[in-house]
Structure formats: C-alpha cells, structure tokens
Amino acid sequence: MAGSVYTAPAFLWHAGETLLENLAYGKTQGYHGANPLRGFMPCIGVLFALFTPRLMIVILWLFTGWFKGIFGTALWPVLGFFFLPTTLLWYTAVQNWWAGHWGVLQIIGLVIALMIDISPASGKRNRQRRHRRDESYD
C-alpha cells in the first residue's frame, strides 16, 4: 500500500499528538509527567470505583501517587473516605485529569457523585440487610 499513512489507534491520541509520536521524538515529559500512559484509566477502574469507592481509594493510596499534592492536610481525604468517598474520588479525578479546572462537565460529575454518596438507597440497603438477618434468627 504505497502512500498510505499509519494512524495510531484512538486510545493512543493525547492533546493533538499521539503517544507514539511523543515517544518516537523523545518527548517523555508530557502532560502527565514521565509516564505518558499515566492519565489513561480503563473503564473497569471507573466501574470498580462506583461500586466500591472506599476500596478504590485504598488501592489508589497504596499503589499510586493519585492523591499526592492535592490536599494540604490529611484531614480532608480522611473525612472524604468516611463520609463522601465517591465525591472524594471525583474531586481527585478533576485535579488529576483536568488540572483542577472546574467546567460544566466537572460540576455535573460532582453533583452525580454527591447524589451517590448521600443517596438514601445506601441506608435502605443496610436496613434491609439487618431485617433479613434478624428474620433468619427467628
């Protein structure tokens, strides 16, 4: 195929250039620092964070630098871990992925995260679980 131009798969595109081009030209210090693939989080990670946000926070805290430099004190992440885990994850995602820029999409995501965290459904599930457990003892 003479004259055909290779284009990288869509997941390799980043800020108008491909990661392959950046690596080929020796550009290792991209938007996300030394690791050009650091900014890509697979969909399974997002789904995992929605279903088990506290576990995802622990995994990110132990194995990555996801929370590094975002908070001035450890008080806010600890409070977020116990009271608003999905909101904490979304806030750190905005800080990491969009460099702290709060646009319409980010605010919509924040509202959805808050709705998930303060949803009465979580309390209802706990009450149903306790009720079933109490019935099993009768």
**Structure confidence by residue, pLDDT tens digits, 86-105:** 999 999 999 999 999 999 99
- Please indicate, yes or no, whether residues 71 and 126 belong to a single structural domain of this protein: yes
Range of the domain at 24: 8-39
> Torsion over CA of 41, 43, 48 and 54, rounded to 10 degrees?
30
Residue range 29-62, pLDDT digits in tens: 444 445 544 555 567 777 777 788 999 999 989 9
Same domain, 86 and 28: no
Judged against a pLDDT cut of 80, whether residue 117 lies above it is answered with yes
Element holding 58 (H helix, E strand): helix 53-63
My answer on whether 64 and 120 are in the same domain is yes
Q: Are residues 22 and 75 in the same domain?
A: no
* pLDDT tens per residue across span 14-33: 444 444 444 444 444 444 44
Please report the pLDDT score of residue 135 as a whole number.
Answer: 67
pTM of the model: 0.57
